[in-house]
Amino acid sequence: MKVISQIKLPVEKEMELFEKKFFESMSSKVALLNRITHYIVNRKGKQMRPMFVFLVAKMVSEGSVNERTYRGASVIELIHTATLVHDDVVDDSNRRRGFFSINALWKNKIAVLVGDYLLSKGLLLSIDNNDFDLLKIISVAVKEMSEGELLQIEKARRLDITEAIYYDIIRQKTATLIAACCSLGAASVKPESNEIAKMRRFGELIGMAFQIKDDLFDYGTQKIGKPTGIDIKEQKMTLPLIYVLNNVSKKESDWVINSIKNHNKDRKRVREVIDFVRDKGGLDYAVKRMKEFQREALIILEDYPESPYKESLELMVNYVIERKK
């Protein structure tokens, strides 16, 4: 059995019902919108976010979920989908998960409006049901994701990212959404409990490990959905690179920075940078930090009694750093 199917097993029924509710939550009286949202729903990915919501909710409440859990999962998926649609416009990207992106098929103007529509549907789903605590969790996540993206853009221009700033960026850009899923799951079944902050931290740690794993793919040789060296070509400062820049001579770091700034389209030079980072221990250091985040996440789970939901979350933590793409 595939790992994702195994992780999903204890919440399979909930995920089936969620898909129906999620599709309903997107509906509109505008035929064009319905056509686009139908296209989005039929090209869904692994659905890790709703899985986190249901698994956490069931783990902290000894197996129960409620309507708030379903709404929380729908809201996070609506808002996440909105950010992806907008991201594709920002990045001028024509593909998403191997399919054409919304902006490629329907142009930027429609893609931006669809993103706005999904965002407002998510907000209204919470407001109409007085789920203000859930809405706050999601709104904080959206704010942080935007700040993280802008911080990365600002720093990429100067290539002066320290390790601490890098963690700030990935915490906001990637980890905050997984943290929101986990805290939403807890808040949906145990409002105002200590579990909410605890599960937020758990999700944050998984998100940090997830992003570092993504950074490592850029130095890999196997095909993994994105071409090797793309982060260097896009002047993105990732952990292996930051570590090396802070631990080599000025002459060497000047060569790396010059390569990234002025020769990032030169395939041979990019390859040399990749080899240099690997030789100087950048990848080993990143793997070490990733495993520290993984360990810390697993320690949080130790506080909970054994259950299929806890087992799935442990599997998820391990899958995040062992995945091949």
Q: Which residues of the chain have pLDDT under 50?
A: 221-227
| Distance, CA of 62 to CA of 41 (rounded, Å) | 30
SS3 content of the chain, % helix, strand, coil (to 5): 75, 0, 20
pLDDT at 155: 78
DSSP per residue over 74-123, as a string? HHHHHHHHHHHHHHHHHTT--EETTEE-HHHHHHHHHHHHHHHHHHHHHH
32 CB-near residues (< 8 Å, 6+ apart): 110
How far apart are the C-alpha atoms of 289 and 170, rounded to whole Å? Answer: 13
pLDDT tens-digit readout, 4-44 = 889 999 999 999 899 888 887 777 788 877 777 767 776 66
Give CA 73 to chain center in angstroms. Answer: 15
Give Cα separations from 272 to 196, 233, 246, 275, 321 (angstroms): 46, 13, 18, 5, 26
Residue 143's pLDDT is what?
92
Quick one: pLDDT at residue 226? 47
Predicted confidence at residue 90, as pLDDT, reads 65
pLDDT of residue 44: 65
pLDDT digits (tens, 9 = 90+) for 180-205: 999 999 999 999 889 999 999 999 99
Check residue 223 and give its pLDDT: 44
